[in-house]
Amino acid sequence: RRGLFYGKAVWTMQGYQIHHPEVQWLADGETPHLSAQLHPVYPTVKGLGQTRWHDLIRRALAHALPQLPADDPLTAMGYCPLPAALTTLHQPDESTAPDALLERNHPARRRLIIEELIAHQLSIQNARQRLREQRATALPAEPPLLREFRAALPYTLTAAQSRVCAEIAADLAQATPMLRLVQGDVGSGKTVVALSACLQAIAAGQQAVFMVPTELLAEQHAANIRRLLGALPVRVAVLTSKMPAADKRACLQAIADGSADLVIGTHAVFQEQVRYARLALVVIDEQHRFGVHQRLQLQDKTAPGVSVHQLVLTATPIPRTLAMSHYGELDCSIIDALPAGRQPIQTSVVSNQKRDAVIARVGENCRAGRQAYWVCPLIEESDTLECENAEATAAQLQMMLPDIRVALLHGRMTNEQRQATMNAFVAGEAQLLVATTVIEVGVDVANATLMIIENAERFGLAQLHQLRGRVGRGSAQSYCLLMYQPPLGETAQRRLRIMRETTDGFRIAEEDL
């Protein structure tokens, strides 16, 4: 039998071989049709091979191209016409240089890139318009409950915190829904700002939700917020997807009958079975984990035609150009000052070959009455390997530092185990916390003054900045040691150099961009 065989040809001692080829069998005497085109290679899944891809693309182009105008505003601005761009990329003729098509500045690729960017912007504008057409509950500014809360704080808000609180309060007092993004570097005091907004809603007889990305963070935020509230008459509920069934039923009932004023939890707070008595404000912490269209789903939790106010917090500073393109539907506030008494974290870059000296430094730090973190390497291929590595590291450090109490935290522990570990570390019962990146956001222990990040070259800049921000949360001088496995590539060298030179999250974000 004769056929056309498609696949990657590899030279072997027996000649060229194609493993698992796609085959198009030819009938007796049939002449194969070989087009004078290059054939793009598409990503395949089971049941969708290259032959099927090419047939679908050919039919899609035959349907779409006659309907596309050859001239449009982008073409008039000098961009490649859209029909030509699609044809060039999906049906390039044999004279086209394949390498040129892969370049981002190829005219056909540039046209599709600008099409996607415009579509994204229109999508954001449409989402913003839909939200702005809703009405929201107006929440009076500066209620007595909020004044009482601020008076009881053991510190004075920074000028930046006060400015952002005022911007939020003014938004909440309007009958149109607030859509505000608060950017604040790690340790800048975003939680107190967000809690002030929640109290403005609660004082008006409404409910507020504080949504965080992980269950560990939900528990930590709840403990921190209860401590900040003190004796104030605010009823706090915690809702996560993995809580015991009886506790969950009681929590859902409290949310539905309005006896829970402030609900803290993961995305579980917006599951279908959760019904709110009078939801007015949603705070979303760590924005990069939730998108604009997810936030639109929040409208399902209020009365028809009534929208919730939305406050989005991020500790990952976003360059202004990126903020406008990604979060164009949000007004923006920036907390650009750290609380008084905070000292900049001193960062050093150390080879893994000096591991013993680093361990000795950890011991000295802990014996001086301070606490430390040891973050284990990121292993993207396997969550299991990452956790096993953390367990082995904790065992080794405990053996080398027998007088130091070592605790372990990783993503495969149960909620109860993780919470018990964090409680022990917060209480000072453990001096060294060995962890995976589960401590990336939200962990707040003022007595922790030393951060060790192993194989720091495997982490991105934003992640390194987040991890480093777990220390430096008190008045004592804090340190971060970035360990690396030599030799370092050029990109990794530049990344670690930036971390050593600055603690300014906005500069780090610009470099990351």
The CA angle 444-447-449, to the nearest 5 degrees, is: 95
pLDDT band at residue 49 under the 50/70/90 scheme: confident
Residue 379 has a pLDDT of 62
Is position 438 within any domain? yes
Residue 97 has a pLDDT of 84
Q: Which range marks the domain in which residue 124 is found?
A: 35-129
Tokens 């859902």 correspond to: 252
Determine the Cα–Cα distance for residues 303 and 313; give it in Å rounded to an integer: 25
Number of domains in the chain: 3
Q: What is the pTM of this model?
A: 0.70
pLDDT, one tens digit per residue, over 206-238 is 999 999 887 878 888 898 899 999 999 999 999
pLDDT, one tens digit per residue, over 304-357 is 778 899 998 987 766 665 666 566 667 889 898 878 778 889 999 999 999 999
Domain boundary among 129, 151, 178: 129
Report the candidate in 487, 409, 422, 498 with the shortest Cα–Cα distance to residue 461.
498
Report the candidate in 337, 407, 335 with the shortest Cα–Cα distance to residue 371.
407
Is position 13 within any domain? no
Residues 231 and 300 in one domain: yes
* Residue 355 · residue 346 · CB < 8 Å: no
Residue 383 has a pLDDT of 66
CA distances from residue 383 to 244, 260, 407, 438, 465 in whole angstroms, order as listed? 25, 36, 19, 11, 22
Per DSSP, 487 falls in state: S
pLDDT band at residue 378 under the 50/70/90 scheme: low
404 token code pair? 């130091």
pLDDT, one tens digit per residue, over 410-461 is 878 887 888 889 889 989 999 999 998 877 665 778 899 999 999 999 888 8
The alpha carbon of 458 is separated from its chain's Cα centroid by a whole number of angstroms, namely 17
Average pLDDT in the chain? 87
Residue 321 has a pLDDT of 58
pLDDT, one tens digit per residue, over 59-69 is 999 999 999 98
Distance in Å from the first CA to the final CA of the chain: 55
Determine the Cα–Cα distance for residues 458 and 464; give it in Å rounded to an integer: 10
Residues 359 and 499 in one domain: yes
Residue 295 has a pLDDT of 63
Residues 153 and 102 in one domain: no
Residues 139 and 125 in one domain: no
Residues 261 and 124 in one domain: no
Strands (E), 127-235: 135-136, 179-184, 207-211
Determine the Cα–Cα distance for residues 414 and 412; give it in Å rounded to an integer: 7
Domain boundary among 275, 305, 335: 335
Q: Which helix (H) or strand (E) holds 279?
A: strand 279-285
The CA angle 122-124-129, to the nearest 5 degrees, is: 95
Type of residue numbered 266: T
Determine the Cα–Cα distance for residues 473 and 186; give it in Å rounded to an integer: 9
Length in residues, the chain: 513
User: β-pairing, 331-335 with 432-435?
Assistant: unpaired
Residue 408 has a pLDDT of 94
Domain boundary among 96, 129, 162: 129
Report the candidate in 441, 407, 452 with the shortest Cα–Cα distance to residue 427.
407
Report the candidate in 314, 305, 317, 206 with the shortest Cα–Cα distance to residue 263.
206
Enumerate the H helices of 133-265 as residue ranges: 144-152, 159-172, 190-203, 215-229, 245-257
Tokens 């939700």 correspond to: 209
Determine the Cα–Cα distance for residues 144 and 147; give it in Å rounded to an integer: 5
Residues 382-402 as b or e (16 or more Cβ within 10 Å = b): eeeebbebbeebbeebbeebe
CATH number at residue 271: 3.40.50.300
289 token code pair? 């984990």
Residues 327 and 419 in one domain: no
Residues 248 and 286 in one domain: yes
Is position 341 within any domain? no
Residues 476-490 as b or e (16 or more Cβ within 10 Å = b): bebbbbbbbeeebee
pLDDT band at residue 476 under the 50/70/90 scheme: very high
Residues 476 and 376 in one domain: yes
With a cut of 60, say whether residue 380 has pLDDT above it.
no
Is position 2 within any domain? no
230 token code pair? 């003190």
With a cut of 70, say whether residue 283 has pLDDT above it.
yes
Question: Span 194-210, mean pLDDT?
Answer: 97
With a cut of 60, say whether residue 287 has pLDDT above it.
no
Is position 390 within any domain? yes
Residue 1 has a pLDDT of 81
Q: What percent of the chain has pLDDT over 70?
A: 92
Is position 9 within any domain? no
Is position 22 within any domain? no
With a cut of 80, say whether residue 74 has pLDDT above it.
yes
pLDDT, one tens digit per residue, over 239-275 is 988 888 999 999 999 999 999 999 999 888 888 889 9
Residues 226 and 244 in one domain: yes
Residues 164 and 303 in one domain: yes
* Residue 480 · residue 347 · CB < 8 Å: yes
Tokens 């802990």 correspond to: 366
Which of these ranges, 91-100, 266-275, 381-390, has the smallest mean pLDDT?
Answer: 381-390
Residues 200 and 219 in one domain: yes
Q: Count other C-beta atoms under 10 Å from residue 441's C-beta.
A: 24
Residues 182 and 306 in one domain: yes
Is position 476 within any domain? yes
Per DSSP, 291 falls in state: -
